[in-house]
Amino acid sequence: MTTPTRPLASEEIYGEKWNRCVTDTIVKTASGLALGIVFSAVLFRRRPWPVFLGTGIGLGMGYGNCQNEFRSPYVPGQVSKLATLRGHLSPKPSSN
Amino acid sequence: MLRAAHLPRAQPAALNFLLVSKRWQQTPASPGSGITASTKSTPGSHTTQYATNNPASAFKTQTAASRPSFNAPIDRTSNPYKTTTSPTSTYVPPSSQRTNPSSGNKTGGGAGTLVKAIVYGVALGVTGTLAYAEYENDSFRRQLESTIPYTATILGGIDQVIDPVLGRQKSITKGITDKVPDLAYVKDKLPGKDQVKKLGEQVKDATNQVVEKLPDKNTLKKVGEQAKDAVNKVTDKITDQSKAKGLVHQTTDQVKDAVNTVREALPDTKGLKKNLDHMKEQIQDAAHTVKETVKEAVPALPKGRSGDSSGKLTDPVFIEEAGEMAVPPPIPQDKYKKLEEEISQLFAPLSTQIDEALSAAREHISHMKTLIDNPHISTSDHETWKKAEHLQEQAKTSYEKATDKLREWKDKLVEYSTATNGQIHPEEKKLDEKYQELHKQYTTSTFVKNFRTYIDEATKSFQKEIETMFPSLAGKNPTQLTHEDLQALLVHAHRRVVKLQNDIARMRINESDSIKAGVESARSEIDRLVEERVQTRVAKTTEQLTEELKSYEKNLRQQFDEQLKYEIVLQHQALTQYLADVLSRQYQEWAREYEKQLENESMKINLNLQNQLRSTLDRLHAIEQAIEANYDSQQRGRQAQQLWIQAQNILNQIVHGTTTENDLDVISKIVPNEKFVHILLNELKADDSPVTNEEMLRERFTHVNKLCRRVALIDDEHNSLWNYFLSYLQSLLIVRQRDDTILTDDAIDLNRLSTFTILNYVQSYLDHNQWYNALRLMQLLSGEPRNVAQSWIADTRNYLAKKQTSELLEAYSNSIGLGTLPRTA
């Protein structure tokens, strides 16, 4: 097991990115869904379209974020801030 | 060695160029083709490909070895070598292109080339001969210079250039000419035969002049006539007087005296001698002048001083001025000066005496003249007669004195003349004249003094006559004479007078004849005498002169001979000196040469000895060192063993586990003195990379492999999520395989590299434990797979570096150990 102070290996960053990406998308979708449900329930008289909109928005945002993250310039050994934050939230093989 | 089997996608121009270069490079040997192959790759290839090519190209050399050795340094050093070959290879083709167009013009200028060929041939021949002549510098050169006119100047000019360059100097012995120095100059200075002849003629002319100057017959004739006049005068005096026989006797005596005077008035022996002396003096003057002229004409001989000879003979080729002629010793001047003084002292009193005598004589003569002229003087007039006698005595004494003095004077003169070689005192002439006059006058006076005696005699004879004839009358006085006596006397006197007259007439007739005859005889005698004397004198003088001339000639000839001898001696000296010089120079040259040789030899021997000494000393040192080294080596061997053990330990740890500080410190304890080990240890210690070992890297590689396959399609442009999905899909579809062909055939087709192929190659490399190749290939990844594999690559690099250093350590320990092994011949 590696310590968090050790810089990440390049192959692991890929994994890390994917983790972040997926979690982020899930979170965004879920939150979009939730918001959609809320909105549809509250504002739009239980029509289904805010739900789909919300999920779509969430998916899209997640997708975009994911894509952006993958497109970011690759610096081996550097750990992104988000990754460190997310590192605390989700257990990673690299942390602790 | 890795080669590019196919060209990368390059530009078409470069492709053409490469085709051409390929055609050219097919002719050299195949080992060069490897280099050219890599140069082919240089024009269009990327720097990364180039970098990877060259390390890959060095691979093949070490495939035989189990361990890859120092590749990294070779990479760097091989690059410049590769870059330098490319310019050389590029240099060749343009020349090939250039020759092609020129070959096309050959058919056009056939005649022009012939002319060119001829010109070149001639020029070549000329330069060849000149060069050979210059080089040979002996007979051929001389031949050339003698036959062809301007070669001497050309070769001289070339000499001036070449001699300093080559250091060719004409040796001193060659520089001195072979010819003997010119003697013409000296020969000119010697007097020629013409000059000698001329001088002889000059001398002869002088003698002729002198001979002419002798009293010739004309003057003698003149003097004879003078004598004759004197005689005539005397006879006139006689004819005026009608005296008796005594007078005739007187006259005859007078004639005799006149003859004497004539004889003496003529240039007497003394006078003649004087004259001849005078002439001799003149001759000598002439001879002297001749001598002078000869002196001027003939070059003077050099003075025979020893100090001068070396200075004048330094230059043996030319003999400069000659010295002066050998001069006869100068006349002892003081002697004749004294004589001259004495003579001049004597002159004055002598001249006065002579004058006195002269005046006395003159007086006497005048008195006698008066007596003679005066018919009335009788014998009884004692006074006048006494006076006359007195005067005559005076004259005689003064004359005798004068003659005595004169004799003295003459002696002195003779002495003087002998002392001064014939120079005559200037006052001699005056005195001579005076003396002559004196003599004349004295003779007349002596002649005249007898007048009285004649008169006395005449009267006495007359008286006797009367007594004998008329004895009776003798005793009587003149008053007692009778008429008959007187008549008898008168008759006697008449008879006597007639007789006397007849006598006188006869005498007159005879006198002139007798006088003439006497004069003639005297003259003839004088002539004869004079002639004789003259002839003798002439003969003598000519003899003398000829003798003198001969002697002079001989003298001159002797002088000339001496001079010639002297000159010859000089020349001989000069030549000998010249020879001595030449010899000495040669000797010096040779001595120098031999000395040089000797020095060289001695130096060689010296150096030889030194070398030997040095070699033995070196051997001794070497032996000592060997012994020490042996000891050292043994110690080092021990150390090496330990080092090796430890190094192995470290290596194992690196490969399989982790290293600790302790291990490294142990090593530093083992070998505290090795700098190399320290450096390596520092390197190992300073390695900050995360500790990995081989296993971990392999595991990581599998992971990396998988990931790289998954993101194979992603690069800078195509990096959306959709592409990610597509690449994932592709990775699922492409079959994993391991490409083992790379192990046998090193050629990588650079155009057909892709992530999958690379990864396949690398997998096969790793499976065969060829980490360096694997690393090299991994570096060919591009795009996202590269990013993914980056840290693996870095880690692998570090790991390999560490491994290399530890291997180096081990190898070093091996080397030490090997160094300590006993040497085998």
Under an 8 A CB cutoff, do A76 and B789 touch? no
- Residue B162, classified by CB atoms within 10 Å of its CB into exposed (0-12), middle (13-18) or buried (19+), is middle
Residues of B in contact with A19 (CB under 8 A): none
Average pLDDT, integer, range B158-167? 79
Res B713 pLDDT > 70: yes
* B719 vs A14, A63, A71: nearest CB: A71
- The predicted pLDDT at position A27 comes to 93
Degrees (nearest 5) of the Cα angle B770, B775, B778? 125
Helix (H) or strand (E) holding B240: helix B217-240
Under an 8 A CB cutoff, do B791 and A9 touch? yes
Pick the more confident residue, B131 or B522: B131
Mean pLDDT of chain A, nearest integer? 74
Q: Which of A10-14, A35-39, B297-301, B811-815 has the highest mean pLDDT?
A: A35-39
Under an 8 A CB cutoff, do A76 and B795 touch? no
| CA B46 to the chain's CA centroid | 81
Identify the architecture of domain B335-373+382-458 in CATH. Answer: Up-down Bundle (1.20)
Residues contacting B809, CB < 8 A, separation 6+:
B643, B647, B650, B667, B677, B680, B681
Percent of chain B with pLDDT over 70: 56
Nearest-CA distance B790 → chain A (Å) = 6
- The predicted pLDDT at position B301 comes to 40
Average pLDDT, integer, range B182-209? 63
Is the pTM higher than 0.90? The answer reads no
Six token digits for residue B234: 């005397």
Res B547 pLDDT > 50: yes
- CA-based diameter of chain A, in Å? 53
- The predicted pLDDT at position B128 comes to 93
- The predicted pLDDT at position B310 comes to 41
User: What are the pLDDT digits (tens) for B369-391?
Assistant: 776 666 555 555 566 667 767 77
Residues of B in contact with A67 (CB under 8 A): 719-721
Mean pLDDT of chain B, nearest integer? 70
d(CA B744, CA B75): 22
Nearest-CA distance A11 → chain B (Å) = 5
- The predicted pLDDT at position B372 comes to 65
Percent of chain B with pLDDT over 90: 10
- The predicted pLDDT at position B376 comes to 58
Residues of A in contact with B720 (CB under 8 A): 67, 71
* B704 vs A11, A74, A76: nearest CB: A11
Residue A74 contacts B, CB cutoff 8 Å: yes
d(CA B53, CA B1): 9
Residue B795 contacts A, CB cutoff 8 Å: yes
Residue A49 contacts B, CB cutoff 8 Å: no
Show which of residues 571-630 on chain B sit within 8 Å of chain A, judged by CB atoms: none
Res A26 pLDDT > 80: yes
Around Cβ B659, how many Cβ atoms within 10 Å? 20
Nearest-CA distance B48 → chain A (Å) = 20
pLDDT tier at B334 (50, 70, 90 boundaries)? Answer: low
Average pLDDT, integer, range B453-478? 72
pLDDT tier at B419 (50, 70, 90 boundaries)? Answer: low
Under an 8 A CB cutoff, do A10 and B720 touch? no
d(CA A17, CA B224): 185
Res B820 pLDDT > 60: yes
Residue A52 contacts B, CB cutoff 8 Å: no
**ipTM of the predicted structure?**
0.75
- The predicted pLDDT at position B17 comes to 60
Residues of B in contact with A15 (CB under 8 A): 707
Res A40 pLDDT > 80: yes
Pick the more confident residue, B797 or B173: B797
Show which of residues 707-746 on chain B sit within 8 Å of chain A, judged by CB atoms: 707, 711, 714, 719-721, 724
Res B166 pLDDT > 70: yes
User: What are the pLDDT digits (tens) for B571-609?
Assistant: 999 999 999 999 999 999 999 999 999 999 999 999 999
Mutate to test the interface with A, among B708, B723, B790 (most CBs of A within 10 A): B790
pLDDT tier at B567 (50, 70, 90 boundaries)? Answer: very high
* B721 vs A9, A14, A70: nearest CB: A70
Q: Which bin fits B422, alpha (ψ -120 to 50), beta or left (φ > 0)?
A: left
CA-based Rg of chain B, rounded to a whole angstrom?
Answer: 77
Residues of A in contact with B724 (CB under 8 A): 70
Is the C-alpha dihedral spanning B503, B506, B509, B513 positive or negative? Answer: negative
Res B561 pLDDT > 50: yes
- The predicted pLDDT at position B784 comes to 81
The count of C-alpha atoms lying within 13 angstroms of the C-alpha of B716, restricted to the half-sphere facing its C-beta, is 2
pLDDT tier at B260 (50, 70, 90 boundaries)? Answer: low
Q: Which of A80-84, B505-509, B572-576, B671-675 has the highest mean pLDDT?
A: B572-576
Residue A61 contacts B, CB cutoff 8 Å: no
pLDDT tier at A94 (50, 70, 90 boundaries)? Answer: very low
Residues of A in contact with B711 (CB under 8 A): 14
Q: Domains of chain B: which residue ranges? A: 335-373+382-458
Alpha helices in B241-268 (DSSP H): 245-265
Res B62 pLDDT > 70: no
Under an 8 A CB cutoff, do B707 and A63 touch? no
Structural contact between residues B785 and B711, judged by C-beta atoms closer than 8 angstroms: yes
Under an 8 A CB cutoff, do A76 and B790 touch? yes
Q: Which has the closest alpha carbon to B331: B320, B339, B342?
A: B339
* A to B CB pairs, distance under 8 Å: 44
Is the C-alpha dihedral spanning B206, B207, B208, B211 positive or negative? Answer: positive
Nearest-CA distance B793 → chain A (Å) = 10
Six token digits for residue B590: 């040779």
- The predicted pLDDT at position B748 comes to 67
Nearest-CA distance A89 → chain B (Å) = 24
Residues of B in contact with A70 (CB under 8 A): 714, 719, 721, 724
Residue B792 contacts A, CB cutoff 8 Å: yes
Mutate to test the interface with B, among A2, A3, A10, A13 (most CBs of B within 10 A): A10
Q: Which of B505-509, B524-528, B779-783 has the highest mean pLDDT?
A: B779-783
User: What are the pLDDT digits (tens) for B763-793?
Assistant: 888 888 888 888 988 888 888 888 888 888 8
pLDDT tier at B40 (50, 70, 90 boundaries)? Answer: very low
Residues contacting B614, CB < 8 A, separation 6+:
none
Under an 8 A CB cutoff, do B790 and A14 touch? no
Under an 8 A CB cutoff, do B788 and A71 touch? no
Residues of B in contact with A77 (CB under 8 A): 791
- The predicted pLDDT at position B323 comes to 45
Res B742 pLDDT > 50: yes
Res A96 pLDDT > 90: no
Pick the more confident residue, B657 or B611: B611
Structural contact between residues B1 and B57, judged by C-beta atoms closer than 8 angstroms: yes
Q: Which of B184-193, B361-370, B520-529, B759-768 has the highest mean pLDDT?
A: B759-768
* A11 vs B721, B724, B792: nearest CB: B792
Residues of A in contact with B719 (CB under 8 A): 67, 70-71
- The predicted pLDDT at position B123 comes to 95
Alpha helices in chain A (DSSP H): 10-42, 49-71, 81-89
Amino acid identity for residue A66 in this structure: C
